[in-house]
């Protein structure tokens, strides 16, 4: 039994850190130390150990498949769903949700919504405000989604994903390896090259062209 102030997994802390560092699934770690998956997850949370998000997502999918492969757990899950479906209010909620989801995918409904949108043209001021807000919105989204990527390698990551069709996980690994191999001298040379590069001309679109390509074209 653990002493007061100790957790049941304290004696396995080194094993926990090593296996999490090797990106091993929680289920495998639990088997190795003879604990439950919940205990392993609690230990990782207390120790501040975090798995890579991509590995964590893969482990969650593997754990779900393992659970659903158990006939007893599948039977219990099916019985719980059937009990819930016996509630008339819950069944009515499901029917309403499915009906609304199907209506959204109806091609005729989609065309009607597009035409309705086209009948509400924006003023020139509204379009100018919208176009002016797009660059800042794009920068904020990039800062959120690609917060792991060094700013000078963002375009290279996009080139790998969009042009070369490299899977995002593989592209991220390539960029992270490239960033780790860069020396301070390479970074300084890149900064000087960027500072000396000529400014790119700003692309502008007229209000009439944007309207014709979007709302005006839909409403026609």
Q: Which of 3-7, 21-25, 215-219 has the highest mean pLDDT?
A: 21-25
**Average confidence (pLDDT) over 78-101:** 90
CB 166 within 8 Å of CB 160: yes
Distance between CA 153 and CA 149 in Å, rounded? 7
Residue 97 has pLDDT above 80, yes or no: yes
210, burial (CB in 10 Å: exposed 0-12, middle 13-18, buried 19+): middle
CB 12 within 8 Å of CB 46: no
Which DSSP string do the residues of 39-97 spell out, in sequence order? HHHHHHHHHT----HHHHHHHHHHHHHHHHT-HHHHHHHHHHHHHHHT-HHHHHHHHHH
CB 45 within 8 Å of CB 16: no
Tokens of 100: 């609304």
- pLDDT confidence of 184, banded at 50, 70, 90? low
DSSP E strand stretches across 55-174: none
CB 5 within 8 Å of CB 16: no
Distance between CA 90 and CA 81 in Å, rounded? 11
Residue 2 has pLDDT above 60, yes or no: no
Distance between CA 110 and CA 189 in Å, rounded? 52
CB 33 within 8 Å of CB 9: yes
**Average confidence (pLDDT) over 47-70:** 75
pLDDT digits (tens, 9 = 90+) for 132-182: 999 999 888 888 899 888 888 899 999 999 998 999 999 999 998 888 887
Residue 166 DSSP one-character state: -
Residue 80 has pLDDT above 50, yes or no: yes
């Amino acid at each position: 039994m653990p002493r007061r102030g100790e957790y049941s997994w304290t004696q396995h802390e080194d094993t926990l850190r090593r296996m999490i560092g090797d990106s091993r699934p929680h289920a495998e770690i639990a088997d190795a130390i003879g604990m439950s998956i919940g205990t392993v997850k609690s230990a990782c949370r207390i120790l501040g150990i975090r798995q890579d998000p991509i590995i964590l997502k893969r482990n969650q999918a593997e754990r779900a498949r393992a659970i659903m492969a158990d006939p007893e757990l599948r039977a219990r899950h099916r019985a719980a769903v059937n009990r819930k479906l016996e509630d008339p209010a819950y069944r009515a909620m499901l029917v309403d949700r499915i009906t609304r989801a199907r209506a959204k995918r109806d091609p005729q409904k989609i065309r009607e919504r597009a035409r309705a949108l086209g009948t509400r043209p924006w003023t020139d001021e509204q379009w100018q405000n919208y176009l002016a807000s797009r660059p800042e919105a794009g920068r904020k989204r990039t800062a959120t989604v690609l917060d792991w990527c060094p700013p000078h390698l963002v375009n290279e990551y996009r080139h790998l994903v969009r042009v070369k069709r490299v899977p995002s996980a593989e592209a991220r690994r390539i960029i992270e390896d490239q960033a780790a191999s860069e020396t301070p001298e390479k970074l300084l040379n890149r900064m000087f090259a960027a500072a000396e590069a000529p400014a790119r001309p700003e692309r502008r679109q007229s209000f009439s062209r944007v309207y014709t390509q979007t709302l005006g074209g839909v409403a026609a």
